[in-house]
Amino acid sequence: MSPDIVSLTQNRDQSHYIGIDVGTGSVRATLVDASGHVSAISTKDTQTWRDSNDSRIFEQSTTDIWTAIGTVIRAVLKDAKIAPEQVKGLGFDATCSLAVTDFEGEPIAVTKGQGLGQRGERNVILWADHRAEEEAELINSTGSIVLDYVGGKMSLEMEIPKILWLKNNMSPSLFSKCQFFDLPDFLTYQATRDASRSCCSLTCKCSYVPNSGWQKDFFKQIGLQELYERDYAQVGVKEGEEALIAGMPVGQGLSKKAAEELGLVPGTPVGSALIDAYAGWMGTVAARYKVDGKLSDVVPSLEESGHRLAAVAGTSTCHIVQSPEGIFVPGVWGPYKDPIINGWWMNEGGQSSTGQLIDFILKNHPAYSEAAKIAKEQGKNVHVFIQEQLEQLRVEKKVDTLTELTKDLHLYPDFHGNRSPIADPRMRGSIVGLELDDSLTSLYKQYHATLLAIALQTRHIVDTLNGSGHKITSIFLSGGQARNTLLMQLFADVCGMPVVLPANCDQAVGLGASMLGRVAHELGRRGLGKDKQAEVLWDIMVEMTPPGTMLKPSCTPKEKKLLDAKYRIFLETIEIQKRWRKEIEEASK
């Protein structure tokens, strides 16, 4: 099947940059010029392996991913009629998944069984993989300083629990031959054959502590002494070395082999990579915005960025905010130093399942097939159709708002555990207020209750961040959920602050990745180093980010009172679940 290609402009004269976004289920190339104008986009699906006997398992292949990257790069160049020589920089972002190779760069299988640790295609433990629960529990019992920088509790979705799981399940002789990469860093390694790692991946996902680096005592305590015994060669940054900050040039640019595979020119600058959500931050928070169709004349400063929360909302949602000093927030990852901008710190909250949760609620309802059929017959997206039906239902029931329509239905959204701010993978979802009703009306109400639950949890994260010292005053969205205007307005109303939508929700992450390529090109061309990275990067962000559209809170005082009550119930639901779990655990002893 050929990749999906969208041609957006015929401009062929300027320098161009390519951003590669490796998401949970696909690879996307975004070709842009220096103004941030998108010339072409190409997307190709990637494969994920599951285990029918273990729902925790999600695995991918770097070979499959790299092949897809070559396909989409060639596609955008062909579609936009851009010569490879016009591409002046390349940037990568990817999910925070663990990629495993040997020291020759060949993939090492991560599937439990006889082939574990041997060369094999399935060499990526996807971010959503929850096999390392016991390893995470061990890590969280250590009291190590590394826990201070992940909100007090490490997620099993991070890389060190996964590496420890591999150590516990693999032959020692095979384990010693492995290199471990956060997936974004693997991509720059594959492109350049330079094993330099990024500050973003190391500090956010690999227990690299700001200002002090690797923690030997921590690795010894959890049984990963092999890492320091080999001077951290398996994780890429030796004692005393520095990781690269976002966009800084990696090695000598594209290797000859990678250039041939991707259809580009050897030596093309490659910028140090980012985790996908952080690329979404880059592609949104420097935007000016339109209010009621009029563009604000305020050009955002780097200081203003500290008041803007970036929410990257797709299968899951990440919430990223930066500050000039490190702020410790219980249950929220960070503070991370220099993950994007030299000298600045970041915190990252998140919801493990949002877009995935909406799909789950819809597709597991008995009336979904009927709703999907009607929507298709009317030529509408099923979400648009359901939202139209909700509005009709509101009118029929003679209530003022959809919140009032579903006021007695309470959904708690942690069907895949809680990432923030509870930081508890054992949390589970619930629905209170169900009736003996499997009709379309029931489907519509459950859909709205799901959207509201996601918005309420977003408020929980924002309140926790601000309660710890952040000063968030607006939310900048990117990702597929930004198309859902009902959900976006709920964010504004529930959180009580404006929401800024990107010019194109599908382009923000890829745009951020392309900026990394331009930063690498500019730093190299001008002979600049780390001390100028912040200035160059922010200027590029302001220049390349298109204006967004602001949604202001619009709920009436009556609806606001109801939303506040729903929020209090949301918080109470958390405490009830914790109490019930404790009672069951005690009764099971």
CATH number at residue 174: 3.30.420.40
- Answer for the pair 484, 501: CB distance below 8 angstroms, yes or no: no
Q: How many angstroms separate the CA atoms of 50 and 133, rounded? A: 17
Does 384 lie in the same domain as 267? no
Instruction: Pick the last residue of a domain from 247, 274, 301.
Output: 274
Q: Which among 213, 242, 274 is the end of a domain?
A: 274
Give the whole-angstrom CA distance, residue 362 versus residue 123. 32
Q: Do 250 and 131 sit in the same domain of this protein?
A: yes
CB-based contact 472:309 (threshold 8 Å): yes
DSSP single-letter state for residue 222:
H
Fill in the amino acid letter for 134.
E
Nearest in space to 65 (alpha carbons), one of 187, 159, 170, 152: 187
Q: Is the pLDDT of residue 449 over 50?
A: yes
Give me 471's structure tokens. 């000063």
Residue 184 and residue 198: Cα distance in Å, rounded?
Answer: 8
Residues whose CB is less than 8 angstroms from the CB of residue 501 and which lie 6 or more positions away in sequence, other chains included? 477, 482, 488, 548, 549, 550, 551
Q: What integer pLDDT is reported at residue 528 of this predicted model?
A: 96
pLDDT digit string (tens) for 118-172?
999 999 999 999 999 999 999 999 999 999 999 899 999 999 999 999 999 999 9
Residues 132, 269: one domain?
A: yes
pLDDT(4) > 60: no
Reported as a pLDDT band with limits 50, 70 and 90, residue 565 is: very high
Report residue 389 as tokens: 């039906």
- Give 239's pLDDT tier (boundaries 50, 70, 90): confident
Mean of the pLDDT values across residues 533-557? 96
Give the torsion through C-alpha atoms of 499, 504, 505, 509, to 10 deg. -110
Alpha-carbon gap, residue 170 to 110, rounded angstroms: 9
Cα dihedral 349/574/161/60 (nearest 10): -70
**Domain ranges, residue 578:** 355-470+561-588
The Cβ-side half-sphere exposure at 427, using a 13 Å CA radius, reads 22
Residues 243 and 125 in one domain: yes
> Over the stretch 260-310, which tens digit does the pLDDT of each residue have?
999 999 999 999 999 999 999 999 999 999 888 889 888 999 999 999 999
| Token reading at 585 | 């655990």
Asked whether residue 10 carries a pLDDT value surpassing 70, the answer given is no
313 within a domain of the structure (yes/no):
no
Say what the pLDDT of residue 11 is. Answer: 40
Q: What is the pTM (predicted TM-score) of this model?
A: 0.91
Domain end residue (candidates: 244, 274, 304): 274
Tell me if 132 is assigned to some domain.
Answer: yes
H-only helix segments in 468-556: 485-495, 508-526, 533-544
Task: Clarify whether residues 229 and 91 are in a common domain.
Answer: yes
Handedness of CA 369, 375, 377, 379 (dihedral sign): negative
Q: What are the tokens at 377?
A: 């017959």
Q: Is the pLDDT of residue 13 over 80?
A: no
Could you tell me the pLDDT band of residue 3, with boundaries at 50, 70 and 90? low
| Same domain flag for 26 and 169 | yes
Does residue 455 lie within any of the structural domains? yes
pLDDT band of residue 548 (cuts 50, 70, 90) is very high
- Whether residue 303 lies inside any domain: the answer is no
pLDDT tens digits, one per residue of 83-118: 999 999 999 999 999 999 999 999 999 999 999 999
Regarding whether 383 and 264 lie in a shared domain, the answer is: no
The answer to the question of residue 404 being in a domain is yes
- ∠ Cα 295 340 251 (to 5°): 125
CA distance 115 to 122: 10
Using one digit for the tens of pLDDT, what is the confidence trace for 166-225?
Answer: 999 999 999 999 999 999 999 999 999 999 999 999 999 999 999 899 999 999 999 999
Task: Answer yes or no: is pLDDT of 424 > 90.
Answer: yes
Residue 247 to residue 287: CA distance in whole angstroms: 19
User: What does the pLDDT look like over 69-82, one tens digit per residue?
Assistant: 999 999 999 999 99
CA distance 584 to 428: 14
Q: What distances in angstroms separate CA 161 from CA 217, 340, 452, one per listed residue?
A: 16, 24, 33
CA pair distance 405, 420, nearest whole angstrom: 29
The CATH code of the domain that includes 435 is: 1.20.58.2240
In Å, how far are 215, 304, 336, 348, 566 from 343, measured between CA atoms?
A: 22, 15, 10, 17, 39
At 9 the pLDDT is 41
Strand order in the sheet with 54-60: 49-51, 54-60, 124-125, 98-102, 178-182
**DSSP label at 299?**
P
What's 443-468 look like in SS3?
A: HHHHHHHHHHHHHHHHHHHHHHHHHC
Supply the mean pLDDT for the chain. 95
* Residues 14-40 pLDDT 10s: 899 999 999 999 999 999 999 999 999
Write out the two tokens for 68. Answer: 């897809």
pLDDT at 12 > cutoff 80? no
Give a yes or no: residue 342 inside a domain. Answer: no
Q: What would the two tokens of residue 419 be?
A: 């990432």
Among residues 21, 181, 6, the alpha carbon closest in space to that of 90 is found at: 21
Same domain, 383 and 246: no
- Residue 116, C-beta contacts closer than 8 angstroms, at least 6 positions apart: 109, 110, 166, 169, 170, 174
306 lies in some domain: no
In one letter, which amino acid is 258? A
Task: Tell me, yes or no, whether 96 lies in a domain.
Answer: yes
- In this structure, is the dihedral angle defined by the CA atoms of residues 330, 275, 32 and 517, taken in order, positive or negative? positive
CA separation for the pair 129, 90 (Å, rounded): 29
Instruction: Give pLDDT tens digits for 307-336.
Output: 999 999 988 999 999 999 999 999 999 999
Do 228 and 368 belong together in one domain? Answer: no
Same domain, 456 and 568: yes
Q: What is the pLDDT of residues 189-205, one digit of tens each?
A: 999 999 999 999 999 99
Give, for 71, the enclosing helix (H) or strand (E): helix 62-80
- Total number of domains constituting the chain: 2
